[in-house]
Amino acid sequence: MKRPRSKADKQARLQQILSILDDLYPNVTCALHHTNAWELLVATILSAQCTDERVNKVTPGLFAKYPTIQDFAAVRPEVLAVDVHSTGFFNNKAKSIVGAAQKILGEFGGEIPRDIETLLTVPGAARKTANVVLGTAFGIASGVVVDTHVGRIAHRLDLTREEVPVKVERDLMAILPKERWISFSHQLIHFGRQTCVARKPKCGECRMEELCYAEDKEA
């Protein structure tokens, strides 16, 4: 496919992409298992440099051992690090989770902040994590979650030419309707796991093939 030049052509192509994603993943949601906003925050912190599948194996036992935010605030980071060891970077993650629990209890009455600027002050809650929690737990479209899948596929589909996540997010927020910010990320993550796989994209069976002009498309 040739690259669209006019703004109208670019918008029409984007709508085709969104339509395909809606058809493929109509009711998609966050892949991290959780029952409340605090559990989602913990799971998202653990997901850094780790697969959601691994996190979902760790969190049931973790939340059974520490059922409340108060329990997480009381545990020593070096103890929690043992519990989350298999997710990698366990010392930093444990320190962030304990720090997050203590700050949320001490400054926010045990409630997860519902605005991104405040949530970003919580240990472990960088922009991606904050967007995940606000979007999934509260339905608040604070931004677009940009993980490795979203950044890679947005680049392949020429929705951005940036590499830095915050700049990719800025570009996506500029072209996507705000009501799509939350669902778009979930859809692209699933698409990246199932079809547009990083090591060997399944271009031959991809419904985006005619809309994609990535130079490294597979035959």
In the chain, ranges of CATH 1.10.340.30 domains? 37-138
Q: Which fold has domain 7-29+144-211?
A: Endonuclease Iii, domain 2 (1.10.1670)
User: What is the per-residue pLDDT for 213?
Assistant: 83
User: What is the per-residue pLDDT for 7?
Assistant: 85
End-to-end CA distance of the chain: 14
**Does residue 128 have an active-site annotation?**
yes
Q: For the chain, list residues with pLDDT below 70.
A: 1-2, 219
Which tokens hold the place of 134?
Answer: 């606000």
pLDDT in tens, 60-103: 999 999 999 999 999 999 999 999 999 999 999 999 999 999 99
Report the 10 Å Cβ neighbour count for 72: 24
Q: Give the distance, in angstroms, between the CA of residue 133 and the centroid of all CA atoms in the same chain.
A: 9
Contacts 24+ apart (CB under 8 A), 42-49: 42/72, 42/97, 42/100, 44/128, 44/129, 44/132, 44/133, 45/93, 45/96, 45/97, 45/100, 45/124, 45/125, 45/129, 46/84, 46/87, 46/93, 46/97, 47/87, 48/89, 48/93, 48/129, 49/88, 49/89
10, 57, 95, 147: the active-site residue: 147
Listed in sequence order, the residues at least 6 apart from 19 whose beta carbon sits closer than 8 Å to its beta carbon are none
Q: What is the pTM of this model?
A: 0.92
H or E element in which residue 17 lies: helix 7-24
In the chain, ranges of CATH 1.10.1670.10 domains? 7-29+144-211
DSSP 116-173: HHHHTTSTT--HHHHHHHHHHHH----S----HHHHHHHHHTTS----SHHHHHHHHH
Tell me how far apart the alpha carbons of residues 24 and 202 are, in angstroms, rounded to a whole number.
15
CATH number of 37-138: 1.10.340.30
128, 158, 200, 217: the active-site residue: 128
The answer to whether 14 and 175 have CB atoms below 8 angstroms apart is yes
User: What is the per-residue pLDDT for 219?
Assistant: 58
